[in-house]
Amino acid sequence: MNPLLLGEDLPRYDEIKPEHVAEAVEKMISEVERGAARVEADPALPAWASVIEELNTLEDWFTRVWGAVSHLNVVRNEAALREVYQAAQPKVVALGLRLNQSAALYRKLLAIKEGPQWAGLDAGQRRAVDNRLLSARLAGIALEGEKKERFNKIEEELSQLATTFTNNVIDATKEFKLVLKGKAEADGLPPSAREMLAHSYARQNPPAKPDPENGPWLLTLDAPVYLAYMQFARDRALREKLYRAFVSRASSGEKDNTPLMGRILELRAEKAALLGYKNYAEVSLAAKMAGGVAEVNALLEELLKAAQAPARAELAEITALANASGQAGALQHWDVAYWAKRLEEKKFGYTDEELKPYFSLEKVLAGMFSLVNRLFGVTVKAADGEARTWHKDVRFFKVSDASGRQIAAFFLDPYSRPENKRGGAWMDVVAMKRVAPGVDRLPVATLVCNFTPPVGDKPSLMSFGEVTTMFHEFGHGLQHMLTKVAYPDVSGISGVEWDAVELPSQFMENWCYHKQTLLGMARHYKTGETLPEATFEKIKAARSFRAGMMMLRQLNFAMTDLALHSAAKPDIKAVEREVASRTAVIPPLEEDRFLCSFTHVFAGGYAAGYYSYKWAEVLSADAFEAFEEAGLEDAEALAQTGARFRDTVLALGGSVHPAEVFKTFRGRSPSPKALLRHNGLLKV
């Protein structure tokens, strides 16, 4: 039996093998095409049940098969799976185009919208129909003949280019390995980093045993390793070598993404022209909350103006410490993280190394689950062994409401596996909530992170940044799992405009600076001692440390992305230089090729949409301000505000436009003032 074809809501991840993919994809495509043909040929008056519900059933098959395969391709990326994935991808793209470009289905959707039954549909159903009509238009439904044929070829090529781009980044990251043998090369690294690097070396060089004190240590470009070395290693020359390797990933040889970037931008511009838009940025924003490129640029400029002077002052302060400590002259890129960390330790009196023992993954999860119980009245309990997983470290949890009824579930894949797992952190969908005749399905999510795995008898100990990452991804999961909308098109995160989808995730990060929440989970993994209150106050004070520089970094990404997709034929290096002249406190190196590893924009869903992080951060900071106004130490007020947040932002999903959702929760339109205040950038 092919495990991909069993029709189960929870995939049998442990049984799925590369040899299952081709057969499953072929059968899924065949089934979906036959079903779509049935819907198209139905002579009855188009109705919700006979069109949308039928399409939802067909899309369930697509998600069960291709969703599981796509997931495994990034968490268990191996040569055989990669090969069959790439072979199947063009067929999957063609299926999507076949459905989106079906004139018969489009006419049926229009008939529903323009017919007598429209008045009887609720807001979620109407949004579902409208979203499908917009998707069809953006998929070229109006194109015919050669234009339609060309559009489809563009979509297929873009899909293949995105996969190749991602694989090149994974391979280039995996390829860099530097063995540190002398103690001087590891000087400055805290014990946890030495341990991580020693175990990394031992894993790749059996039967070697890890020796954190004496080495050897393996240096890679995997995020936890790279960040630890850049922030703590005293060897300036090696920091430079590592930095140059990091910003030049996937920019040379067979893995060079440079030509792919040019081709991707060229194809997106051509696609926009075929659809009747001036540029790809307009295509992207057609399905977003922001009203247009001008509105986005206005926000970015407002944030830029607020951050520029503070960022320059921050760099001057960091440079002054470096100079006073014996490093003369201006700082280079590979110096900033190191000396910024020394300044942070000096100003706030604690180190990441001192914090890590207080943040074991288990304690962080328990604290996070306790918070959502207080705010939203839901209970999260471990259910390991009740679902098939793709790796022994993957956990499974169930979510229940106040009555004890299960309402959702999620997988958690917490640890870094640089040999076959994509870097970063993300939430994805396993199953959408759906209630229909014969169907009553709960939402299921996956939360994927890349934390430091347990080492020996020591549990996974997290940096404070990793704690906020865990809260961030769980915020996405909450919007997916706590939805009350039963239509898959607009349930959970589905149908939520891309620039609003980060609202719940960034909102959850704020609770890492909430006294009761943080001290409730910050317990020393050996002694059980709670993090001292004085240390919590320092963490809170450090929240705005380097806020200007960090703001400029995100604005650099967002403005570069938008500029590249607003021009017909952009000169990539010229755009980078122009944006950097306004956003970089230190000019980028001539050989900087960071865009070659910028998967968010060139291989993910953030093309002409990276601004969404800042857009949604405005929403999330303003939303959290409602809790501040209610009183962060008032349990009853927090629960009441939490219930309102759950019933709007978390429950409504994509069934209502996000601007209306926000107004319903907050009572007004969003303002960037709360974000600037939290970051210490608001001029009073």
- Predicted TM-score (pTM) of this structure: 0.87
pLDDT value of position 13: 98
pLDDT value of position 223: 85
Distance CA 612, CA 616 (A): 6
Helix (H) or strand (E) segment spanning residue 637: helix 635-645
Reported in sequence order, the residue ranges of 152-252 that DSSP labels E, i.e. its strands, are: 178-180, 217-219
pLDDT value of position 418: 80
pLDDT value of position 424: 87
pLDDT value of position 429: 96
Q: Which residue has tokens 């004890």?
A: 404
Instruction: Give me the DSSP letters along 514-543.
Output: -HHHHHHH-B-TTT-PBPPHHHHHHHHHGG
Around Cβ 205, how many Cβ atoms within 10 Å? 12
Q: What is the 3-state secondary structure (H, E, C) of 421-490?
A: CCCCCEEEEEECCEEECCEEECCEEEEEEEECCCECCECCECCHHHHHHHHHHHHHHHHHHCCCCCCHHH
Distance CA 304, CA 553 (A): 10
C-beta separation of 383 from 400 below 8 A: no
Strands 444-451 and 406-415: parallel
Cβ-Cβ contacts under 8 Å for 668 (sequence gap 6 or more) = none
DSSP state of 116: G
Reported in sequence order, the residue ranges of 229-297 that DSSP labels E, i.e. its strands, are: none
Catalytic residue positions?
Answer: 473
Residue 371 in tokens: 């918070």
Distance CA 606, CA 281 (A): 11
3-class DSSP state of 209: coil
> Buried b vs exposed e over 442-459: b needs ≥16 C-beta within 10 Å?
bbbbbbbbbbbbbbeebb
> Buried b vs exposed e over 643-665: b needs ≥16 C-beta within 10 Å?
eebbebbbbbbbbbbbbebbeeb
Distance CA 85, CA 97 (A): 18
Using alpha carbons, list the distances in angstroms from residue 215 to 221, 442, 525.
18, 49, 25
C-beta separation of 217 from 179 below 8 A: yes
C-beta separation of 662 from 669 below 8 A: yes
Residue of 388, 466, 391 lying closest to 424 (CA atoms): 466
3-class DSSP state of 9: coil
Q: What is the mean pLDDT of each run of 10 residues along the chain (684 residues)?
A: 94 97 97 97 95 96 96 95 95 92 95 95 97 95 95 95 94 94 93 90 91 94 91 97 97 96 97 97 96 95 96 98 97 98 93 92 98 98 97 98 97 92 92 94 97 89 95 98 97 95 96 96 97 95 94 98 94 96 96 94 93 95 97 96 98 96 96 93 74
C-beta separation of 418 from 522 below 8 A: no
Residue 141 in tokens: 């439904």
Angle, CA 271 vertex, CA 268 and CA 274 arms, to 5°: 155
Using alpha carbons, list the distances in angstroms from residue 508 to 133, 474, 618.
33, 8, 13
pLDDT value of position 450: 93
Distance CA 648, CA 665 (A): 6
